[in-house]
Amino acid sequence: MKKERKIFVLDTSVILYDHSAVNCFEEHDVAIPIEVLEELDNFKKGNDTLNYEAREFIRLIDGIAKRELLTDWIPLNGSDTGKIKVVAKHNLNGVDAVKVFDDDKYDHRILNAALTLKRQYKGRRVILVTKDICLRLKAKSLELDAEDYLTGKVHDVRQKLYTGRTVIEDVAPAVIDDLFGRGGMDVAELGLEEPAGNHFFILKHEKKSILCKFDPRTRRVHRVEKQHVFGIGPRNAEQTLAMAALLDPEIPLVTLQGTAGTGKTLLALACALEQRRNYRQIYVTRPVVPLSNKDIGYLPGDIQSKLDPYMQPLWDNLKLIKGQFEKSDTTPRRIDEMLENEKIAIAPLAYIRGRSLSNIFFIVDEAQNLTPHEIKTVISRAGEGTKIVFTGDIHQIDTPYLDTESNGLSYLIDKAKDDPLFAHVTLEKGERSALANLANQRL
C-alpha cells in the first residue's frame, strides 16, 4: 500500500539544529517559508555553530535549486520521491496567525505559510516541524498539525539511555572470591554476555561485592580498585568506576552523566591533574549559554569580566582540589604554576575554534547544552594522544530548543556506547552535601 505523501514545513529552529534536515523526510515533501530564509540571513555571519548551520543550509538549498525556481516543487537528491519548495506568498483567505496573535513576527508568518499549504493541498497532511514548543502549541491552537524534529533524538532516555554499568545480584561467593584473588577472568566464567565495548559490572552477594570492568581489547573482566588522585578519592561505587575510565589511557573518550553534586567535574579535573605528565595541556571548558538569550556583549566589563561568571564553577572545583592539601604542601603552588604557564587552561568552548587538540586532556563541562553537531565538531578536532571527557546532566538544560532526548550528550552516549574507544558512567548518588541531596531528591 502506497504511503500518504505529507508536506513538512520546517521552522528556523530545525535548520539551526541540523542544516541537512531537508534530507530526513524520506518520500515526503518539504516546504521552507520565505521567512525562514530571512531569519537564516541574520544568522549566517559569525563563528558559532548556529552560524555554521545557517551557512551550510543556504549552500545546500543553492545546490539543490541550481537554475530552478524555488517557488516550484524541486526533487531532492535528484529523485522523484521527495520534493522541496519555498513558500513566498500566503493565502490569507481564512485564519491569519498574525491577526489571531496580534503580532507580525516571523513565527506567525511561518504559521501562515503552513496554513497556506493546508488550504492549497486539501487532500494532503501538512505538518509544521519546529523545536520551539510554544510555536507547536500555537500551531495546534489553529488546527494545524505540528511536531518536534525527531532525527537524532534518543527516545525514552529515562529508561533506555545507557548507564555504562550493570548490577548483578546473587553472584556465587566463590566467583567473587576468585575474581578478587586473580584480578581478572574470562567473561564466560562469570556467566555474562560479552559486551561490545567498555562496560562496568557490580557483582553482589549479600554483603559481598566487587567492581569490575570488561575490557574489549583483552575480552576479559578485570577487577576495578579504588584510586586516590590529587587528594580526591571515590565516595561510592559509581565514582570508583568513573575514575577507572578517566585514568585508563586506552580509553580516549569518556562521558559522565549525573545530577548536580555527583562529582562529575571534580573527578574529571582531579584525574586530569594526576595524568598531567602524559599530556601537553589540560584544557577545561564549558559552553557559554547567554543570560536571557542575550549575547555576553550585553554584560559590563572586559571580555574576562564577561566570562568569569560562566567559568566560575570550574574555578570552584580547582579550588576544592587545592584545599585538600596542608599549607606546607607544595601541590597547590604547583597547580598555580600550571595555570600561569597555561599547562591548565580554563576558557569558553568557543575559544577552541582553530586550535589543534593534539596530546591534550580535554574536559567539556555542561555538555548537555551542546547540540549533536557541536559534540561531533569537538571530537573531530582530536589529534594524536588526546583524551576528551564530556560531563553534564541531561535533565538540566539551559539552551533553547534542546531537551533530554535531543541534546548532544544524550546523543553521544547512545551512539558511542558499543565502541571500544568509549566509556560511560552514570553517577546517581550525590556527594556534595546532605542538603544538596535533599534538593535533588525532594524538590
Same domain (yes/no): 303, 409: yes
Any domain includes 165: no
Q: Which of 108-122, 231-245, 269-283, 302-316 has the lowest mean pLDDT?
A: 302-316
Residue that has been written with the C-alpha cell 596530546 in this structure: 359
Please write the tens of the pLDDT for every residue from 172-203: 999 999 998 998 999 888 888 899 899 999 99
Residue 2 reports pLDDT greater than 70: no
Listed residues 147, 163, 187: the one ending a domain: 147
Same domain (yes/no): 279, 422: yes
Any domain includes 161: no
Please write the tens of the pLDDT for every residue from 318-361: 888 888 888 778 888 999 999 899 899 888 787 676 677 899 99
Beta bridge partners of 199: 214
Same domain (yes/no): 129, 254: no
Listed residues 132, 147, 162: the one ending a domain: 147
Any domain includes 320: yes
Same domain (yes/no): 380, 238: yes
Q: Which CATH number is 297's domain given? A: 3.40.50.300
Predicted local confidence at residue 80, as pLDDT: 61
Same domain (yes/no): 104, 238: no
Q: Which of 57-71, 226-240, 282-296, 372-386 has the lowest mean pLDDT?
A: 282-296
Closest to 115 in 3D by CA, of 137, 97, 141:
97
b/e map of 314-339 (b: 16 or more CB within 10 Å)?
A: beebbeebbeebeeeeeebeebeebe
Q: What is the mean pLDDT of the chain?
A: 88
Q: What is the CA radius of gyration of the chain?
A: 26
Closest to 288 in 3D by CA, of 312, 265, 263:
312
Q: What residues make up the domain containing 30?
A: 7-147
Listed residues 147, 167, 201: the one ending a domain: 147
Same domain (yes/no): 143, 278: no
Any domain includes 140: yes
Same domain (yes/no): 25, 138: yes
Please write the tens of the pLDDT for every residue from 231-271: 899 999 999 999 999 999 999 999 999 998 899 999 999 99
Any domain includes 217: no
Residue with the bigger pLDDT between 242 and 314: it is: 242
Domain count, the chain: 2
Any domain includes 55: yes
Q: What is the pTM of this model?
A: 0.86
